[in-house]
Amino acid sequence: SQTIHQWPATLVQPVGSPLSLECTVEGTSNPNLYWYRQAAGRGLQLLFYSVGIGQISSEVPQNLSASRPQDRQFILSSKKLLLSDSGFYLCAWKKQETQYFGPGTRLLVL
């Protein structure tokens, strides 16, 4: 069966520090992968999606970036975090028509 992992589960970072969140998928190959952010009082916002290695599409211009160095690995990064980057970050993959989500990473920027 397929599973999706995210780490870390929780992260507290100072403003201006770098960020790296990792997502890996097991049990499938060549999945479509997605990064979402869920901020307090707001719906899920699609940040990036990838249809293959090295192929990244950005939905929202901001100080975040994404990379897909391997087929089942999706990384969300920032060089300098802002207070507004705080939120719950969810990685997801798509099988046929259904989207499946990871457990999420809660990021607090202070």
Partner 1 sequence: KQEVTQIPAALSVPEGENLVLNCSFTDSAIYNLQWFRQDPGKGLTSLLLIQSSQREQTSGRLNASLDKSSGRSTLYIAASQPGDSATYLCAVRQIEGGSEKLVFGKGTKLTVNP
DSSP one-letter code for 104: -
Q: Rounded distance, CA 86 to CA 10, Å?
A: 11
Strand partners, 55: 52
Asked whether position 11 contacts partner 1 by CB under 8 A, the answer is no
Residue in 59, 79, 82, 110 binding partner 1, rule: CB under 8 A: 59
Is residue 87 near partner 1 by the rule CB under 8 A? no
Tokens of 106: 């809660």
Name which of 17 and 57 has its Cβ closer to partner 1.
57
Q: Considering the rule CB under 8 A, would residue 73 count as an interface residue with partner 1?
A: no
Q: With binding defined as CB under 8 A, does residue 22 bind partner 1?
A: no
Angle ∠(70,54,30) on CA atoms, nearest 5? 55
- Give, as one character, the DSSP assignment of residue 43: -
Quick one: how far is CA 110 from the chain centroid? 20
For partner 1, the closer of residues 37 and 72 by Cβ is 37
Please list the residues that pair with 44 across neighbouring strands: 38
Which one of 11-19, 39-47, 63-71, 79-87 is the stretch in contact with partner 1 (CB under 8 A)? 39-47
Site of interaction with partner 1 (CB under 8 A):
34, 41-44, 46, 49, 57, 59, 88, 90, 92, 97-104, 106
